[in-house]
């Protein structure tokens, strides 16, 4: 594999997370990928011409897309900080991690609790290619990376890297930001999330975000741009979002517009609902 994305995947595999014998999938630079579109819109450099073209179309359809993506990162920072600093969580399973973008989940969690342990999961080969940057744990903590698909929760749960890193008898925060809209209803995202929660002990958390067009009566438009680029994209209503949290106790303030979730310390005024259209919540497993 070569390319501006990171060069050939060779060198010392001296960190936990990638098996030296693992076959590394090729990065396909001929079709756009969601991780690289997101990276481009957030100002990253790990993207290709096809991704930039798809991003331009999506931003033309929804001029607020960059604001929404920045707000998703801000949400992730607030939620992970709350989980580590306020809820006392020391283990994280982050699915749909994306290309490394500092601060990453482990940097936020370990700033509050240096011993925090984080397993990252993504199904995009380019994220695997850059996973080294996700594996810069504090000396007291651990990070690991698994190349896998959210739609195969049992594969994730059986992976030795997960089992070596996380203690499934102690609370774990499952974090899924900016991913569920890429899983169409026919792939049963609710069943997938519920299977993962079922494997976690009492006192675990789900922190989750999902784009909606509840605030755009005429439709935001970027869903069509993604689909025309060959990437599934599904908005969900508040009720459909609430189903992800079935059986969990909602942490106050419950289901919120993502830019409003515990956002008192963010710059005010917060963006309008029509600029950030996405729901967010944290639920606790009783």
Ligand X SMILES: C[S@@+](CC[C@H](N)C(=O)[O-])C[C@H]1O[C@@H](n2cnc3c(N)ncnc32)[C@H](O)[C@@H]1O
Residues of this chain that bind ligand X (CB under 6 A): 34-35, 38, 72-73, 76, 95-98, 122-124, 127, 149-151, 177-179, 182-183
Nearest residue (CB) to ligand X, 124 versus 214? 124
Residue with tokens 């995947």: 9
Cβ proximity to ligand X: between 96 and 221 the closer is: 96
The least distance separating ligand X from the CB of residue 104, rounded to whole angstroms, comes to 9
Nearer to ligand X by C-beta: 123 or 143? Answer: 123
Kindly state the smallest distance separating residue 40's Cβ from ligand X, in Å: 11
* Nearer to ligand X (CB atom), residue 35 or residue 200: 35
Cα–Cα distance, 13 to 228 (Å, whole number): 38
Concatenating the DSSP letter of every residue in 92-112 gives: EEEES--S--SSPHHHHHHHH
Smallest separation (angstroms) from ligand X to the CB of 232: 8
CA distances from 72 to 60, 68, 121, 244 (A): 19, 6, 18, 18
262-to-43, 80, 271 alpha-carbon distances in Å: 26, 12, 14
Please state the φ and ψ torsions of residue 194, each to the nearest 5 degrees: -65, -35
| Pairwise CA distance, residues 197 & 206, whole Å | 8
DSSP symbol at 283: E
Which of 170/260 has CB closer to ligand X?
260
State the nearest-atom distance from the C-beta of 105 to ligand X, in Å: 8
In the complex, the smallest distance separating the C-beta of residue 188 from ligand X, rounded to whole angstroms, is 12
Q: Which residue is at the shortest CB distance from ligand X?
A: 98
- 229, two tokens: 């680029």
How far is the CA of 220 from the CAs of 79, 172, 179, in angstroms?
A: 25, 34, 17
Nearest distance from C-beta of residue 180 to ligand X, angstroms: 9
Q: Which is nearer to ligand X, 12 or 172 (CB)?
A: 172
Residues 162 and 111: their CA atoms lie apart, in Å, by: 22
């Amino acid at each position: 594999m070569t390319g501006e994305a990171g060069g050939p995947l060779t060198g010392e595999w001296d960190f936990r997370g990638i098996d030296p014998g693992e076959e590394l999938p090729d990065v396909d630079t001929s079709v756009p990928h969601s991780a690289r579109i997101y990276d481009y819109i957030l100002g990253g450099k790990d993207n290709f011409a096809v991704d930039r073209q798809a991003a331009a179309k999506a931003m033309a359809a929804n001029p607020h897309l960059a604001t929404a993506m920045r707000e998703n990162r801000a949400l992730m920072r607030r939620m992970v900080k709350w989980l580590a600093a306020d809820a006392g969580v020391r283990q994280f399973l982050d699915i749909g991690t994306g290309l490394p973008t500092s601060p990453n989940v482990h940097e936020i969690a370990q700033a509050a609790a240096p011993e925090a342990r984080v397993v990252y999961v993504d199904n995009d080969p380019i994220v695997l290619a850059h996973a080294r940057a996700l594996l810069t744990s504090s000396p007291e903590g651990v990070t690991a990376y698994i190349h896998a698909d959210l739609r195969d929760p049992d594969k994730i749960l059986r992976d030795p890297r997960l089992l070596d890193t996380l203690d499934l008898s102690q609370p774990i925060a499952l974090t899924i930001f900016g991913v569920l809209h890429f899983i169409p209803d026919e792939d049963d995202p609710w069943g997938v999330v519920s299977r993962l929660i079922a494997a976690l002990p009492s006192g675990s958390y789900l922190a989750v975000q999902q784009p909606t067009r509840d605030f755009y009566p005429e439709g935001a438009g970027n869903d069509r741009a993604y689909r025309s680029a060959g990437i599934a994209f599904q908005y969900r209503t508040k009720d459909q979002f609430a189903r992800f949290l079935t059986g969990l106790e909602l942490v106050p303030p419950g289901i919120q517009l993502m830019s409003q979730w515990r956002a008192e310390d963010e710059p005010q005024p917060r963006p309008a609902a029509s600029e950030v259209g996405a729901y967010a919540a944290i639920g606790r497993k009783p």
